[in-house]
Amino acid sequence: MENIDLTREAVEDVFECACDIQDKAAQDAVVTLSGETLSIEPEGGKTLLLKARQVSALDIGDVDIKMTMQAASLRLYRFGRRFDRAAELIGSWYKKGKLADSAVLEKSLETFDEIQYELSRKGKRPASLRMYATHAAITDSRNGKVKRMPYSYIRDILDEGLSVNIRMQKGPDIAVSMLGRRKDVFLRRLKELMEALACEVGRKTVEILGIEDAGQDKLISGILPDGRAVLLGAIEEKSPMLAEAILRKASTTRTAPIIDKADELAFGFKKGLMGELDGDYIWMVARLGGVAVMETVSGSEDASRAAYMFDMQGLPFPAFVDDLSWSLTLVGFRREPIYLSDEALKEPGRERYLQAIEDVPELVRLRTLYRGRVAHTEGGGWVSKILEAAGKLPQGGR
């Protein structure tokens, strides 16, 4: 990987202004923007350290900046000639921080503010809820933590009058309340987005695999939910036609030598989240002894430039595939935050990955399991490297 040498104009930006908290008397203050943290130091008062996710609302006026948090509100003003610069940087900090709650890059399709949520009946907390093409995300208003609900892992949706209970196949069940008249909108949109995703998965899988019977798309979407790899034997049991089509396609791609040596196989479909940057694709997990190789099989775009190797840590293959699928889904199948070194993650522009490591334990899990990355090269030399690392070929063998 090439060294990246980016020079920033300044390590931090400092502004002098006035501040009133909870509409109390104004105090002189120093506002410092450093990385993802905004600090407000009132004269003679306690310094307030903020991350953008802790701010529920930011209102930038002509001469002042207002922030609303769960337990407080404040107003910053009297910046003098530096107001425009302060407004620009604080606005950018806020937007950037809000995006950094996830490594997943998707456009929000629906938002429900000022709701409540409850994990496994353990107490209600205030939150906002955003809906995307592949998942819904609940952001806790008190601590900014994000809980994601991939549609492909939703087992059941129960309308319980004052609340909606979303039962998950993995992860805690989530009850959403305080929706009021918006509850019917939420239920309708959730079901619409889940159905749209399933239809897209079925349609694209048929297209990628070249299956002539387009009427199989509904069956296929039920066998291969978005992001979830399924053991080849389980696919074959439900649809021999689908298993045959996957293997036929895979046998014509760069994955063929790996499949030939694999002890066990699993396949899944992933809807692309970044348009032409990755597209939609079939992906594979192959067990080679105690090593698992994750690789793309085929898609409308080249969805991967490398194969990824993971240590199974003694897990049975079905359990490992389940663990890997869930973890990858929660990070939107982004590879960079998995393989980048701790030092590389601290480079400018990767703040969202650092935030994801803090917020998403599954990303930490992936980084723990990660064993290596082998870039695709001409001539198939990269395949030999994988097989050698997995003990399927002698060192330097063919």
The pLDDT assigned to 234 comes to 98
Using the predicted structure, report yes or no on whether residue 115 has a pLDDT greater than 90. Answer: yes
Q: Output the average pLDDT for the chain.
A: 86
Query: Higher model confidence: residue 117 or residue 9?
Result: 117
Using the predicted structure, report yes or no on whether residue 5 has a pLDDT greater than 50. Answer: no
All structural domains of the chain, each given as residue ranges with its CATH number in brackets, are 13-99 (2.30.29.30), 110-191 (2.30.29.30), 194-389 (no CATH)
Using the predicted structure, report yes or no on whether residue 274 has a pLDDT greater than 60. Answer: no
Which tens digit of pLDDT belongs to each residue from 227-265? 999 999 999 999 999 999 999 999 888 888 899 999 999
Q: How far apart are CA 191 and CA 193, in angstroms?
A: 6
Beta-carbon contacts of residue 346 (< 8 Å; ≥ 6 apart): 354
The pLDDT assigned to 104 comes to 62
> What backbone torsions phi and psi does residue 393 show, to the nearest 5 degrees?
-140, 145
> What backbone torsions phi and psi does residue 360 show, to the nearest 5 degrees?
-115, 100
Using the predicted structure, report yes or no on whether residue 99 has a pLDDT greater than 60. Answer: no
Which tens digit of pLDDT belongs to each residue from 153-182? 999 999 999 999 999 999 999 999 999 999
Using the predicted structure, report yes or no on whether residue 323 has a pLDDT greater than 70. Answer: yes
Using the predicted structure, report yes or no on whether residue 393 has a pLDDT greater than 80. Answer: no
Per-residue confidence at 10, pLDDT binned at 50, 70, 90?
very low
- Is residue 132 within 8 A of residue 146, CB to CB? The reply is no
Nearest by Cα to 179 from 171, 169, 170, 187: 187
What whole-number percentage of the chain has pLDDT above 70? 87
Per-residue confidence at 2, pLDDT binned at 50, 70, 90?
very low
The pLDDT assigned to 146 comes to 81
The pLDDT assigned to 253 comes to 85
Which tens digit of pLDDT belongs to each residue from 178-212? 999 999 999 999 999 999 999 999 999 999 999 98
- The 10 Å Cβ neighbour count of residue 376 is 16
Q: Per mean pLDDT, which of 25-39, 120-134, 308-322 is the most reliable?
A: 308-322
pLDDT, mean of residues 127-155:
87
Total-model pTM: 0.77
The pLDDT assigned to 56 comes to 75
Using the predicted structure, report yes or no on whether residue 1 has a pLDDT greater than 50. Answer: no
